[in-house]
Chains A and B, each alone.
Chain A
Amino acid sequence: MVKQGAWGSLVPKSPVDEGIAGQGRRKFLGVAAAVMAGLMSVSGTAQAENLPGIDVANKEVRVGAFAPITGPVPFYATINHAADAFFRDLNERGGIQGWKVKYIVRDDGYDPAQSLAVTRRLVEDDDIFALVASNGTATNVAVIPYTRSKNLPVIAPSGGSPKIIAQPHMFPLLPDYALSSAASAQYALDVLKKQKIALIWENDELGRRAKFGLELFLKSRDLAPTVDVSFDVATTDLSAQIQRVAASDAEVVLLFGSNAHLASALRAAERISWKGEWFAPFFTADPSTYELTGKLLDGVYFSSWLLPVDSDREQIAAYRDVVPKYYPNDRLGVFGLNGWSAASLFVLAFDKLISSGQALTYENMIAVMNTLDGVSAGAADKVTFEKGDHRGTRQEAMIRAENGKFIVAQDFRPYPEVVFKTVAK
């Protein structure tokens, strides 16, 4: 379907063009009026058919995403594979009240400049109703001005940044890492009864937010990290950082980096026989981390907004069944579960929008998203959005690695209030 705006841009505007056109303008206007009248008579719902991303005749809604299919992190595209599998499975089972979802994923190579171009193409050429599980933090931040100018709903972008949370049209599931580090520290203090906490953090937005959250939370308990030591994202050997942690007499270490960094740190700790409790971010609670670490991962805790991939919950069991049918080469894990939950959130809200009987517009979709209160979306629990507060995930579970599996050590609990309130500001 082509929008009127797109036609408008094709009409010649120069005086020369107008001069030539002027001779037959009356004739042209007459023909145009006749065509328009004909179209109106064919369908009385011309207004509805022009809704972006909505094909009323075929009962189809188009949604899209940019994803790093090529570039430095092609495995992140697993997120979008899982979302796609969710939609395809849903369509085969009858869709959302008879509505089918068409999911269009385009490659941005994990380059924020490309993400913007791809989003523009998705909106202006593919004519989408919403972005669902658009991939990456920096890439999602890059499209904020454009998507905001279009008021395009961005559902569950897989990026964790306060800038995303602050947008009225974006509905992230990923929490600010400040909340995860605070939740980890709370568990270490209150459940494990450990006082001396060290932090090893990746020297970028991920690590900086974790440091902010940890320091803020510990300050509220009149404590401070025994040591905090950073590393560059390209670092492959964390021996020096572990030596610093060991020298600080810490009992607990929070490591905010990738699964390769966690594996390297666990190895380094083993080499100097340092023993302590470990906490890592949710996305490292993945079978791929076990492949790198082996048994060293046993006992590591993960503060996570997603239930583990081994969970018995029906939606997670469905994820384990469905994704291999469409993407047999994809590993089952946190990335896929993330995309599965994103697609689930969209379907939940779209279903609610159809049931409300309101027009299927961007504005109404955003309004419906703002009414979600304590819903379960895939592997995420008690997801809530309200106008002016898009901290979708408001609590996390504590997951523990044990004998090659990930089990829930503590059920979902609200984030520490002092950090949760600060993030909202």
Chain B
Amino acid sequence: MLPVIWQGIVTGCLYSLGALGLVMIFKSSRMVNFAHGALAGLGAFLVYALTAGGASWPWTAAVAVALAASILVSVLVYFVIAPLLECSDTTATIATLGIGMVAQGIILWQFGSNIFRLDLPLPNVSASIFGLSVTLYDVTVLLVTLAVVGVLFLVIDRTRLGISFRAASTDPFAGRVCGLSITRVHLFSWIISAILGVIAALLIVPTTFLSSTTVTTFMLQAFAAAVIGGFDSLPGSAIGGILVGVGCNLFSFYVAPELLNSFLLVFILFSLSCFPGGILSKRMGSRV
């Protein structure tokens, strides 16, 4: 059972990263970015094109370029979405579906529907710890997730922009009255979300390979993690990711892997029934 839980934790870390990207945008602008997976996939494809796909750039340079490009794309997308966001959150959310399709179309146009291999530049090392096989990839995923989540929480907790983000997400109207630039806060969340997306995509493709659909499919599980976390709680979505990873692995191992999607839906329903505001929500009372 221990290896199953371990693998679940490693996969769960990736779901957490994906979920954090979705929650960042939701917290700041009350909309769900359904293009998150496709845009992250676009970043991963850029890394592939610059490394294994032919250009043979150093890995770090390729990742830096992909991150810069993803930030640029996310800023552009935000400026396309912003006018719609003023109409309604739902309109903007639906528009992200279209943007996701465009991103997927660009991938298909440039790379076709083939499947590609994109490995992290890591030596193939593994060790047995208490009968558990632990690879360098597993450790990397854990460390990168911890580092990214740590930095993210520090930025949100300690920096001026982070405090603005918290203020605007708690009460946008009050934030605006106090002189906060909502556009700046929105851009901050879109850029952080893009960075989280590319990191998650680069960490997941060594196990799933890279195609026009793999990152989008992976983000569906991340979406479930965000829902379990309450969708507006960053710590909740991080824990939700681990719960989804471990839960899915245990279910696949002991029950039936082909029913995994059904399990995920039941898991979401159960979780929302028990914790309507997410797993970390405080019980709220109301006066009559």
Contact = CB atoms under 8 A, between A and B. Distances in A.
Among A236, A268, A288, chain B packs the most CB atoms within 10 A around the CB of: A236
Contacts of A234: 213, 217
29 contacts: A73-B113, A74-B112, A75-B112, A75-B113, A236-B217, A237-B207, A239-B7, A239-B207, A240-B248, A241-B252, A243-B4, A243-B249, A244-B253, A247-B253, A259-B115, A260-B209, A260-B211, A264-B207, A264-B209, A267-B207, A271-B126, A271-B137, A272-B3, A272-B133, A273-B126, A273-B133, A291-B116, A292-B117, A294-B117
A236 B210 CA distance: 10
Nearest to A232: B258
A264 B258 contact: no
Contact of A260 (B11, B115, B135, B138): B115
A203 B258 contact: yes
Contact of A292 (B112, B115, B126, B137): B115
Nearest to A75: B114
Interface in B3-29: 3-4, 7, 11
Nearest to B251: A240
B51 interface: no
Interface string B113-127: 111110000001010
Given A240-B253, A240-B257, A271-B137, A264 B208 contact: yes
Nearest to B133: A273
B273 interface: no
Given A260-B115, A263-B209, 18 more contacts: A73-B113, A75-B114, A231-B257, A240-B252, A241-B252, A243-B4, A259-B115, A260-B211, A267-B207, A270-B135, A271-B133, A271-B135, A272-B3, A272-B7, A288-B114, A291-B116, A291-B117, A292-B116
A24 interface: no
A235 to B, nearest CB: 8
Contacts of A229: 257
Contacts of A292: 115-117, 209
Interface of A: 72-75, 203, 229-232, 234-237, 239-241, 243-244, 247, 259-260, 263-264, 267-268, 270-273, 288, 291-294
B272 to A, nearest CB: 24
A239 B11 contact: yes
Contacts of B114: 75, 288
A288 B112 CA distance: 14
Interface residues of B, number: 34
B208 A236 contact: yes
Given A231-B258, A264-B209, A240 B249 contact: yes
Contacts of A294: 117
Contacts of A235: 257
B214 interface: yes
B206 interface: yes
A273 B128 contact: yes
A330 to B, nearest CB: 12
A61 B282 CA distance: 78
A237 B117 contact: no
Interface in B253-269: 253, 257-258, 260-261
Please provide the 10 A-B residue pairs with the shortest distance between their CB atoms, ordered closest to farther: A240-B252, A236-B208, A273-B133, A260-B115, A272-B133, A292-B117, A240-B257, A230-B258, A243-B253, A236-B214
A276 to B, nearest CB: 15
Contact of A239 (B211, B217, B249): B249
A239 B115 CA distance: 18
Contacts of B258: 203, 230-232
Among B11, B249, B253, chain A packs the most CB atoms within 10 A around the CB of: B253
Given A243-B253, A267-B206, A237 B115 contact: no
Contacts of B217: 234, 236
A311 B253 CA distance: 41
A77 to B, nearest CB: 12
Contacts of B214: 236
A332 to B, nearest CB: 15
A242 to B, nearest CB: 9
Nearest to B134: A271
A358 B83 CA distance: 74
Contacts of A240: 4, 248-249, 252-253, 257, 260
Nearest to A331: B114
Nearest to B114: A75
A263 B114 CA distance: 14
Among A72, A272, A293, chain B packs the most CB atoms within 10 A around the CB of: A272
Nearest to A73: B113
Nearest to A274: B133
Interface in B183-207: 206-207
A235 B258 CA distance: 9
Contacts of B252: 240-241, 243-244
A373 to B, nearest CB: 40
Among B128, B133, B209, B253, chain A packs the most CB atoms within 10 A around the CB of: B209
B113 A72 contact: yes
A237 B11 contact: yes
Nearest to B4: A243
